[in-house]
Amino acid sequence: MSVSFRGFVTINHVPFSCLLLKALKIHPISQRFASTKTLKETLQEVIPAKQEQFKRLKSEHSQKVIGDIKIENVIGGMRGLKSMLWEASVLDPNEGIRFHGLSIPDCQRQLPPAPGGKEIIAESMLWLLLTGNVPTEAETRKLSLELAENGDLPAYVEKLIDGLSPSMHPMTQLAIGVAALNHDSVFQKAYESGIKKTDYWTYTLEDCLSLIARLPALAARIYRNVYKQGATAPPINKDLDLVGNYTALMGYGANKDLTEYLRLYISIHGDHEGGNASAHTAHLVGSTLADPYLAYSAALFALAGPLHGLANQEVLRWQLAMQKELGDNTTHENIKDYLWKTLKSGQVVPGYGHGVLRKSDPRFIALQEFCDSRPELLKSPTIQLVKKTYEVAPGVLTEHGKTKNPWPNVDATSGCVLYHYGLTEFKYYTVIFGVSRALGALTQLVWARALGLPLERPKSVSMDTLQAIVGKNA
């Protein structure tokens, strides 16, 4: 088993320099070893090394300055400030997301797919995010079985969800269901009985895995109640992975292409560093020692905002409106005219731009490559329109001059593929995002407890205070 962290790795309990392994052209994370360890047993090996690294940073380097605070940071939503610890992923403006150093193409090559499938599955990404290791196929299958065995909803949650009005937004229902599951929180019960701080992470892990296991059944029940009333769900299949069961529970089990697409989408969408609104909300609420159910329900409410998780449905609305106006025989020139029409009306072009990225989103590229590999998607007028828009929009947005990043983000294509495969209910798309983002937000709650991160409490200032600072400096 390989355990990686900054500076060195241990392989079979023997420490090796990362520089030495690099010189020998051995990537510590990419090596696979036959293993029968569970996810928790693997974490028990990984955590002590990370705790030691954390202690060294705190004791030896806590006073080192890593950035400057400007007034634009204070009044501009703290954008870009390096002020949050997040181990699972790092987002580079030009390279895009990396999960423990692995790019999306790296993950596609190395992380185990489902039996008979080609795309990454949520379990292999979950293992990577939580441990920093690439799991073996055996470890991935074992985790799939563990999640499936714990995937049924308690009767009280089924009754609660069934009692909600079908007109209530699916995201509101999802957040309500997740919050209600805190009735079964082992962390909350253990904390109330009195446990050592060093044991917090083990109970948090149990809650997080339980929540991830139940999310497909919860999200699928909401889908059926709102859009397929009267449809019955099959039992959870213990031979399927998390997403395989999710699509089956929604009623799309026979649609293998949709299942493969969702495997890829949910995996590469599972984490996007900690500064985005939903991940940050989970971290903030979790820092109060709220249990994972409460922390993630709060994250879901953040995800439901139009500036965050609702973007994919807005892209699809805009694309379909353009398709209706232009017809199926679109050209680059009439797409360009439609883009200028959108911009001159005071609207933004949905699916383009990003708070951090300054290049095309690697997640968008991965989903486009998925489309390019399937003849039925290449023939789809909607998917072809996405591709043609990508060829025109960056130039128009650059000429327009008001967009820092004229390149597409993942939302530029994600909802359009769902629409093609028959999942046409726009309002539900963010629920799928919510199932996905649990992978990153919940794994980092485990690490926050393992490292003993404190209550998050930034210092706020008033405009008068800022004005005084400006006057003093002047």
Which residues are annotated as catalytic? 308, 354, 411
d(CA 260, CA 192): 42
Residue 454, amino acid: P
Structural contact between residues 427 and 170, judged by C-beta atoms closer than 8 angstroms: yes
Radius of gyration of the chain (CA): 23
**Contacting residues for 472 by C-beta, under 8 A, at least 6 apart:** none
Q: Which of 220, 217, 216, 238 is nearest to 228 (CA)?
A: 220
d(CA 274, CA 329): 42
Instruction: State the pairing for strand pair 2-5/14-17.
Output: unpaired
- For residues 222-244, b (16+ Cβ closer than 10 Å) or e, as one string? bbbbbbeeeeebeebeeebbbbb
Q: Which of 56, 41, 61 is nearest to 8 (CA)?
A: 56
d(CA 415, CA 227): 17
Terminal C-alpha separation, the chain:
58
Structural contact between residues 407 and 359, judged by C-beta atoms closer than 8 angstroms: yes
Coil/strand/helix, residue 308:
coil
φ, ψ dihedrals at 417, nearest 5°: -70, -40
